[in-house]
Amino acid sequence: MTTVWILARRELRALFDHPTGYILLVVFLAVNDFLFFRQAYLTGTASLRPMLDLLPWIFLFFIPAVTMRAIAEDTRSGTLEVVLAQPVTEVELLAGKYVGQLIFIWLALALTMPVAFGLSLGADLQVGVMVAQYVGAALLAAGLAAVGLWASSTTANQITAFIVGVAVMFALILVGANPLITGLPPGLSAIIANLSVLPHFENIARGVIDLRDAVYFVALAGVFLGLAHLAIMGRKLSAHRDTRRRLRLGTVLIAIILILVNLFGRHIGGRLDLTPGKAYTLSGASKALLAGLDDLVTIKLFVSQRLPPEIAIVKRDIGDLLADVRSAGGGNVRVVELDPAGDSEVETEARSLGIPPVQFNVIGEAELQVQEGYLGIAVQYADGSETIPFVQRTEDLEYRLVSFIRSLTRTDRPVVGFVEPPVDARGPAFTWRTLRQELEQNYEVRTLSASDSGDIADDVSLLVLAGTQPFLDTLQQERFKAFLRRGGGALVMARGMALDPQGFMASARPVSWNAVLQPYGVSIRPDLVYDLASNEMVSMQVPMGRVLRSYPFWLRALSTQATPVNQDLEAILLPWASSIDTTGAAPGTVAPLFTSSRAGGVEGGRAFVAPQRDYPTDSLSPRLVAALVNPLAADSVGEYRGRVVLVGNEEFASDRYAGNSPTGLVFALNAVDWLAQDDALIQIRSKNRRPPPLVFESGTTRDFVKYGNVAGMPILLILVASARLWRRRVRTRETYRSPKGAGSP
């Protein structure tokens, strides 16, 4: 190991004693940081994913540029024979060069860490996810560095080594693409797709270090280091000697073994989930529910053997989740995998359960082809069944499966009363069908009218009050107050301003629910909240086309994460939200849920809501836009005992926004569970796989983070390089002086 380390240090010195190494680092940092901030600031999320998505493509040129001279230059200059004439073996030489080159590449990765530190000024970073992402980047570098070293060992020309390295790495990145595997047998196409670099790297980049992905990169490095060793030994041994033939055979066998280990490593278990709340690991609530089953639940996965690579990644996640569900259920959960494409009876069963084949557009060798396949799940218990016709993503799959199982095995279902304003009062765009459908998985949902004056049925546990009613008379108000007095809960979603989209104006309107909430001391104010720092982007028409522009009235409300309702949520979209007044509430009864940032302001009366307007910057402060009220938390409980969740916006959970901003729907469902005092699914549903929003307190901080990385880090590196190279140049010009005391005898 001492020899290997000496050789590694020699490689590092060779890179840092010449301008080439510094030029490579400066170019890598400048390109990486520029492309990252261009994307990260556009999405407004504190995540390294924009950098990681581009990293394999930057490595495609950076790593061959680093490694192209490692062995090729020594071969051209004749240094390789001189080194091997010393007490250094070929294995030690190869290992030393590989370690030295890899440390240099890892150093380049380490120089991107100021990006993460800069993001921390605008968000609470998901440290575990970023640790996993850097581990994945390090493994990717380890695998590709071996490819570059092998390319350098095959030739004495550095340019040729660079071109060969780029070509092989490009093939490894694209090997699983549809155009390359279209027309191949399903089994062979799956094997080839598994050899691609991108799926393994993307799996780690999400925050989960899977042993299967680590095995892939270790095997990749092992294969190409073995080939590099064969190339070096090939120059030493005669082509006609048995020793060279045995070496070639041994290298091929080792490469085959490593490839087989990678392919069959798909069945290796073990992963380290570093995401917040272990988003990719079965939650404790799921395990408890599955462990309590008293009869057999069957989960049938209808999946085609041949699927596009991007869908095959989803299939792998599904398999991992179903294995965890089966393990947690003991003997009461059975998982069956079926392929309808090869069995007509299975195909008939899939269609009868509501799982049809789905068509994929696949780019073939010369044309766009249509490929048909299955990827659906059916959950069966006794005579009942629930179905997911096609699994497009796995973010909410645990919740959906456990929710199905709970719904099928549950004997009692709480009743939720859903109160909507009349159609003419809410407009045709305001519907809550998606919210109702989600609630119907675990509740009996009844439609109630606000205009009725009779008592609300005793079996109704809670109310969802969506939107603002035009008017509530005294009897109607008393009807809802009586419900809250007896302990019923209410989710109130309303806004204190009416919008006129055609005129880009908003005007104050009375919120009928404020009279019902008056005993709690809370109300929705007749204003609109804007946030100059935490907001969403909207598309605007300009003379040259369309551009994205920040829209402060589309508030990206920040979560306090202080209650079970919002503890796993970072932010939600609240378009045109009103603030909430809690000044009259009893101490200890109100818990803030979502607020604006410190750059939040309000406008009342009549407000101009066009995106291109100017916004007042005086009196900016956090504005409360969602809160929960629990009267039982007060020192002395009054007449009203029902829980309330109050949101100054009704659109966030409507059909118009539920698809594009699913966290709002999650928040509404969590609120209903909390109001029904049924918290079993909150922990599962709220698993947050989205990065936190990026909200800087000022534009100065935002620009400092961006330009400090894009320009500051490369300039600092240039200054360090200039100082070191100047010092080295001065030392090389010094006159040689014998050590003190040395001389002829």
Spell out the residues 6+ positions from residue 614 whose beta carbon is closer than 8 angstroms to its own: none
Contact between 439 and 672 under an 8 Å Cβ cutoff? The reply is yes
CA atoms within 13 A on the CB side of 637: 11
Element (H, E) at 538: strand 535-542
Q: Is there a contact between 129 and 276 (Cβ–Cβ < 8 Å)?
A: yes
- Please, what's the b/e burial string for 513-539 (b: 16 or more CB within 10 A of its CB; e: otherwise)? bbbbbeebbbbbbbbbbbbbbbbbbee
Q: For Cα atoms 251, 253, 254, give the angle at the middle one, nearest 5 degrees.
A: 65
Q: How many CB atoms sit inside 10 A of residue 149's CB?
A: 28
The CA R_g of the chain, rounded to the nearest whole Å, is: 32
Q: Which two tokens stand for residue 208?
A: 């989960």
Helix (H, G, I), strand (E, B) or coil at 644: strand
Residue found by looking up tokens 């030393």 in the block: 96
CA angle, 314 then 318 then 321, to 5°:
140
The span from the CA of 230 to the CA of 244, in Å, is: 9
Amino acid present at 75? T
Which of 670, 442, 675 has the alpha carbon at shortest distance from 565? 670
Second-level CATH architecture of 415-677: 3-Layer(aba) Sandwich (3.40)
Between CA 99 and CA 116 the distance in angstroms is: 26
Structure tokens at 166: 């780029």
Distance, CA of 20 to CA of 82 (rounded, Å):
24
Q: What are phi and psi of 373, to 5 degrees?
A: -160, 170
- Give pLDDT tens digits for 465-519: 998 888 888 888 999 999 999 999 999 999 999 888 676 889 999 999 999 999 9
pLDDT reported for residue 177 = 56
Q: DSSP state, 578?
A: P
- The SS3 assignment for 698 reads coil
Whether 284-406 shares its CATH topology with 415-677 is answered: no
* Bridge pairing between strands 415-419 and 460-466: parallel
What pLDDT, on the 0 to 100 scale, is given for residue 313?
67
CATH of range 284-406; options 1.10.357.10, 3.40.30.10, 3.40.605.10, 2.60.40.1180: 3.40.30.10
Half-sphere exposure of 597 (CA within 13 A, CB side): 21
Among residues 224, 192, 193, 197, which one has the least CA distance to residue 213?
197
How far apart, in Å, are the Cα atoms of 341 and each of 346, 359, 368?
A: 8, 13, 21
Domain boundaries, the chain: 2-273, 284-406, 415-677
Kindly state the DSSP code that residue 295 receives in the 8-state scheme.
Answer: S
In the DSSP assignment, the letter for residue 356 is -
**Predicted pLDDT of residue 574:** 94
Within 13 Å, how many C-alpha atoms sit on residue 312's CB side? 22
pTM for this model (two decimals): 0.72
3-class DSSP state of 488: coil
pLDDT of residue 378: 93
Q: How many CA atoms lie within 13 A of 19 on its CB side?
A: 5
Dmax over CA atoms of the chain, in Å, equals: 119
Q: How many angstroms separate the CA atoms of 210 and 112, rounded?
A: 24
Q: Which pair of tokens denotes residue 44?
A: 């407004």
For residue 723, give every residue at least 6 positions away whose Cβ sits within 8 Å of its Cβ, in sequence order, or none. Answer: none
Compute CA 642 distance to the chain's CA centroid, rounded to the nearest angstrom. 37
Pairing of strands 333-338, 545-559: unpaired
Give the type of residue at 541.
Q
- Pairwise CA distance, residues 652 & 671, whole Å: 13
* pLDDT value of position 239: 55
Closest CA to 95 of 144, 137, 145, 24: 145
What's the CA gap between 705 and 220, in Å, rounded? Answer: 36
> Taking Cα atoms as reference points, which of 149, 151, 171 lies closest to residue 161?
151
CB 373, CB 341: distance < 8 Å: yes
Q: Which residues of the chain have pLDDT under 70?
A: 1, 81, 83-85, 176-194, 235-251, 254-255, 257-269, 308-310, 312-313, 360-371, 423-429, 501, 503, 541-545, 635-637, 686-689, 734-745
From 204, 228, 202, 206, select the one nearest 214 (Cα to Cα). Answer: 204
Q: Which of 145, 662, 700 is nearest to 434 (CA)?
A: 662
C-alpha–C-alpha distance, residues 700 and 270, integer Å: 44
